[in-house]
Amino acid sequence: MIKFICAAVVASAISSAAVADVTINGFASINAGATTGSNESLYGYDDKFELKNESLFAIQLQSDLGDKLSVTGQLLGRGADDFDVDFEWAFLSYELNDQTRVSAGRLRTPFFKYSDFLDVGYAYDWIRPPQSVYGLGFANIEGVSLYRTDQFGRLDSSLQFVLGNYDSTTSFSGTEIDAQIDSIVGATWELTQGSLSGRVAYLVGETTFDTAPVQLAPGVTLGGLFGTLEQVGLSALVADLAIQEDDSSFLGFGVTYDNGDWIIVSEITNIEVDNSFIAEQDSYYLSVGHRFGSFTPYISYEKDDNTAQVDAYSAYQSTLPAQLFVPVKGLVDSQAADNDTWNLGYRYDFHPSAAFKAQFTDQDNQLTGDRRSLISVGIDLVF
């Protein structure tokens, strides 16, 4: 279905060029970074200066077909994928009235404050959005969206409903796996008055991850562990661990204050995947910046607090053989996280369409005592 929509977007944009307005714009990020320690890695970087990891280039086409119908397509190539180009967005939109718009196709999932601008580095001050919150692993759905704006007295309201599915891949413990989230239903609501805005998002779905290829140890895969557990009659334990059509939920709150000089942003999220070995994930960040003309220094703090689902194996502790209990416990416990991350950086708008950024990131793993630091620089462009 999505391939048909993508093709329709391109065909519509090309065929309508003679009779409708076609807008072509784009954005790019040229980012580089390296960790400060020889044995450290963070956000895909190590101690060798790397240019491709977070660099990207995108072109967006939008065509007004008339009679309140429009088509939008966004082609994006990421350095991490050797700049292979794919449709990031591809959707049709219809304006029911001045306040209400319906869209269908490949859409950005509205998890976060900056979801719509997730890849547009020029839209925010950081090198990258705070990964403790934004490092979810997927950003788009194939489905429909209803977006409505209203005004309640002095409050501006933006309400969005989404319905759709995700069927692609994601990275899990360093392994690329198939991921599917069905029956995604959600809503977001943002209220703004002057410099202050608040936002809430809630989405649910049914999650299935093919984790069989994930390695637990050399020569030992998660699929092999689950197969062994089933052979010894522990299918119930496998059902409690495997990620197969499990109910999942996302809850997020955000507050933004921006008076033109000060910009303060904070988001808090909770993610749950029931009846699985995935930890309950609680994350938040607080970022404070101040604009001095074209120069904006900022500081931010992030917190990752993932609680391992120890109930998944605790009932089997006395009955499960050690050679099976140890890897099961290791799998569940490995999902726990307790990270404190500080970011210190600045943005310099040296051109009306370009900004230079530099950022120092320091992450402290409270569970292991490991500490990693990353220096990043980049240029974000819009055109």
Instruction: Give the CA count within 13 Å in the CB-facing half-sphere of 174.
Output: 6
121-169 confidence digits (pLDDT tens): 999 999 999 999 999 988 999 999 999 999 999 999 999 999 999 999 9
Could you tell me which of 138, 139, 133, 120 has the C-alpha nearest to residue 378? 120
Residue 37 within any structural domain of the chain: no
Rounded CA-CA distance 367/139 in Å is 28
CA-CA-CA-CA dihedral for 236, 237, 238, 241, to nearest 10: 130
Residue 12 predicted with pLDDT over 50 = no
Residue 216 within any structural domain of the chain: yes
| pTM (2 d.p.) | 0.92
Residue 19 within any structural domain of the chain: no
Rounded CA-CA distance 179/170 in Å is 6
Say what the pLDDT of residue 172 is.
Answer: 86
- Could you write out the DSSP letters of every residue in 188-238? EEEEEETTEEEEEEEEEEEEEE--TT-EEETTEEHHHHHHHHHHTT-HHHH
Residue 80 has which token pair? 């991490």
Domain holding 321: CATH number?
Answer: 2.40.160.10
Residue 20's pLDDT band (cuts 50, 70, 90)? low
Residue 203 within any structural domain of the chain: yes
Rounded CA-CA distance 263/255 in Å is 11
Say what the pLDDT of residue 69 is.
Answer: 97
Residues in the chain: 383
Could you tell me which of 187, 177, 185 has the C-alpha nearest to residue 205? 185
Instruction: Give the CA count within 13 Å in the CB-facing half-sphere of 211.
Output: 21
Residue 18 predicted with pLDDT over 90 = no
Residue 60 within any structural domain of the chain: no
Rounded CA-CA distance 161/146 in Å is 5
Handedness of CA 99, 100, 105, 108 (dihedral sign): positive
Number of structural domains, the chain?
A: 1
208-263 confidence digits (pLDDT tens): 999 999 998 888 899 999 999 999 999 999 999 999 999 999 999 999 999 999 99
Residue 22 within any structural domain of the chain: no
277-324 confidence digits (pLDDT tens): 999 999 999 999 999 999 999 999 999 999 999 998 998 888 888 999
Residue 69 within any structural domain of the chain: no
367-377 confidence digits (pLDDT tens): 999 999 999 99
Domain that holds residue 207: 95-382
